[in-house]
Chains A and B, each alone.
Chain A
């Protein structure tokens, strides 16, 4: 479980930029994946490489034979192949993972001394694992067992994931929120690719159709304004897309590219992109659709939008 080869496209930049880049790569990679573990491995390698981590662990729940839920290590990738596995996979690490899972939120970067016993701390620091941070995501779907194991009598555990990340220096304050967004996007894509299984309840209510996908996974589609040429004069100044960024974004929209890909192809930062998108939504010139082709209500993402 070590990082044997460097992933491509290693780059510098702020965490939000990295997030957009990884999500873009992820969307291309997911269609070729056949199991959730393949996706976890891909995420672990990509995140560790791009965010300059030393170690990443994904902890997920499973149901014991007696029906009691527990947590186990599903995926682990270390930058240093010499890092001893017994050092990073022991009882204190399980306690830390459970703590992160119980918190159910992103935990800010803290020194390992605050989480692990002194003797382990010294060893961790020796291998450059000086800071620890973590995140948690969950979804109303079921997590398949590793490999081709059959469904146990007690059933599959509902999906949740606690991520433990170790760094040699304190993490950027935007790093964990960005990683959490990547993980959420990954889960959404995994659901669409059926790498995660729907619960009976979600199947019955077709809840998947109503789940709100992350903004970056949505596809933008151009449209004529709701009233343009019918009741609104297209020659009036109010119908013009005056903002250059919005015009550039509108020109780049082809009805196939997701928000993440458009952000990349227009080379706009998140703030400018968001402002340009908001302008187009207000003019009624774009609509957002999910991977199933359903139109998503833009007011969910832009509450003040009056379109």
Chain B
């Protein structure tokens, strides 16, 4: 499987999984009234948009450089909000979090709309920093689920831990390719496969957890 096909498969899977979960959040939220799933829904909605942007940038070379801002910042913000929703369960805190997430989502849509006016990333350093931020957020979520698993063993927490650790490894591989240019394609493919498995595990957690 070549890198382009793998990248497109990852994007298509990400879009389908995240869109499905976002739609499920819309259906379930009125019955659960949990702010955490609202945060999850908004975050996965954002990731859906970033996956669409990635699909475009992978296949339309001229768009790639401009969409990277939205791609990296959007994913970083989405994972960061999921992590923040897990650290505290107070109602007031989660309300503030949802409000700020909505604001950030609006700003991200603006960022997407004005993508073509933005300059490309000035060197790899910004890409590495934002890529590491995605990794840190995912590893943080993964550890939250590992701690949860240690307290109470459920299929849901196991699959969520697997999912976010696989995503973290995927994003780490993505960053590695800039540090080890010799193995760029290897890290890129390994990162894509890891993320693909991560999103499938996330779907599994929602469906059978």
- Tell me if A250 is interfacial: C-beta within 8 Å of chain B: yes
CA distance A234 to B21 in the complex (A): 12
Q: Are B151 and A231 in contact (CB under 8 A)?
A: yes
**A230-262 CB contacts (< 8 Å) to partner B:** 230-236, 239-242, 247, 250-251, 255
User: Nearest CB to that of A222 among chain B residues?
Assistant: B91
Task: Report yes or no: A235 in contact with B28, Cβ–Cβ below 8 A.
Answer: yes
Q: Is there an interface contact between A230 and B148, defined as CB atoms closer than 8 Å?
A: yes
State the main secondary structure of chain A at its contact with B: loop
Q: Shortest CB–CB separation between residue B137 and chain A, in angstroms?
A: 16
Whether, in the assembled complex, B86 has its beta carbon less than 8 Å from a beta carbon of chain A, the answer is yes
Q: How far is the CB of B145 from chain A (nearest CB, A)?
A: 7
Which residues of chain B are near A234, meaning CB under 8 Å? Answer: 28, 32, 34, 36-37
| B144: interface (CB < 8 Å) | yes
Complex Cα distance A222/B35, Å? 11
Contact B145 A233 (CB under 8 A): no
A229 contacts the other chain (CB 8 A)? yes
| Cα(A228)–Cα(B205), bound, Å | 13
- Whether B34 and A231, one on each chain, are in contact in the complex, defined by CB atoms closer than 8 angstroms, is no
Contact with A along B185-198 (1 / 0, CB 8 A): 00000000000000
**B94, CB-defined interface residue at 8 Å:** yes
Asked whether A225 lies within 8 Å of B34 as measured between CB atoms, the reply is yes
Q: Report chain A residues within 8 Å CB of B144.
A: 230
Q: How far is the CA of A235 from the CA of B23 in the complex (A)?
A: 11
A223 close to chain B: CB less than 8 A: yes
B145/A230 in contact, CB under 8 A: yes
Q: Are the C-beta atoms of A236 and B31 separated by less than 8 Å?
A: no
Chain B interfacial positions (CB closer than 8 Å to A):
24, 28, 31-37, 40, 85-86, 89-92, 94, 144-145, 148-149, 151-154, 156-157, 205-206, 209
Q: Nearest 10 pairs between A and B by C-beta?
A: A233-B209, A233-B156, A224-B89, A230-B148, A240-B31, A229-B36, A231-B152, A231-B157, A231-B154, A222-B91
17 A/B residue pairs, CB under 8 Å, sorted by A: A223-B90, A224-B34, A225-B34, A227-B148, A227-B154, A230-B148, A231-B149, A233-B206, A233-B209, A234-B34, A234-B36, A235-B37, A239-B32, A240-B31, A241-B32, A247-B33, A250-B33
